[in-house]
Amino acid sequence: MIPFTLRKQFILRKKMKKLPIYALILLGISISLLYDRKIANLPEVSNPDYIVMDNIQLLIADTTKQLHVYSTKNFKYERQLLKRGEGPGEALGTAFVWTSPNYIYLYCLGKNLFFARDGKFIKEFRTPSNRTTYVRPVDDKFICLNRKINDKTSGSLYDISLYSYSPPNDMKFEKLLYCYEIPKITTKGNKKPFRTIIDRRDVIIFENRIFIGDSERGLFVQVHDLNGNRLYQIRLDSEKIKVPQDYGKDLKKETGDNPKWNWFNNEYYYNQPEYFPGFYGFFIGKNKIYFLTYKKVDNNREVIICDWNGKSVRKKYIPWIDFQLYRIYTIWNDKFYWLVENEDIEEWELHESELK
Confidence at residue 42, expressed as pLDDT on a 0 to 100 scale? 96
Asked if the structure places residue 173 within a domain, the reply is yes
Taking the CA atoms of residue 37, residue 51, residue 164 and residue 170 in that order, the dihedral angle to the nearest 10 degrees is: -170
pLDDT score of 235 more than 80: yes
Asked if the structure places residue 165 within a domain, the reply is yes
Asked if the structure places residue 122 within a domain, the reply is no
Q: Model confidence over 261-302: pLDDT tens digits?
A: 888 888 988 888 899 999 999 999 999 999 999 999 988 999
Asked if the structure places residue 246 within a domain, the reply is no
Q: Which residues pair with 289 in a beta bridge?
A: 284, 306
pLDDT score of 6 more than 50: no
Confidence at residue 25, expressed as pLDDT on a 0 to 100 scale? 32
Asked if the structure places residue 159 within a domain, the reply is yes
Mean pLDDT of 330-348: 93
Asked if the structure places residue 354 within a domain, the reply is no
Q: How far apart are CA 245 and CA 265, in angstroms?
A: 19
Asked if the structure places residue 146 within a domain, the reply is yes
Q: Secondary structure of the chain in the HEC alphabet?
A: CCCHHHHHHHHCCCCCCCCCCCCCEECCEECCCCCCEEEEEECCCCCEEEEEECCCEEEEEECCCEEEEEECCCCCEEEECCEECCCCCEECCCCEEEECCCEEEEEECCEEEEEECCCCEEEEEECCCCCEEEEEEECCEEEEEEEEECCCCCCEEEEEEEEEEECCCEEEEEEEEEEEEECCCCCECCEEEEECCCCCEEEEEECCEEEEEEHHHCEEEEEEECCCCEEEEEEECCCCCECCCCCCHHHHHHHHHCHHHHHHHHHEEEECCCECCCCCEEEEECCEEEEEEEEEECCEEEEEEECCCCCCCEEEEEECCCCCCCECEEEECCEEEEEEEECCCCEEEEEEEECC
Q: Model confidence over 119-149: pLDDT tens digits?
A: 999 998 887 666 677 788 888 899 999 999 9
Confidence at residue 129, expressed as pLDDT on a 0 to 100 scale? 62
- Specify the number of domains making up the chain: 1
Q: Model confidence over 148-182: pLDDT tens digits?
A: 998 888 889 999 999 988 776 678 899 999 999 99
Asked if the structure places residue 310 within a domain, the reply is no
Residue 171: give the domain boundaries. 130-184
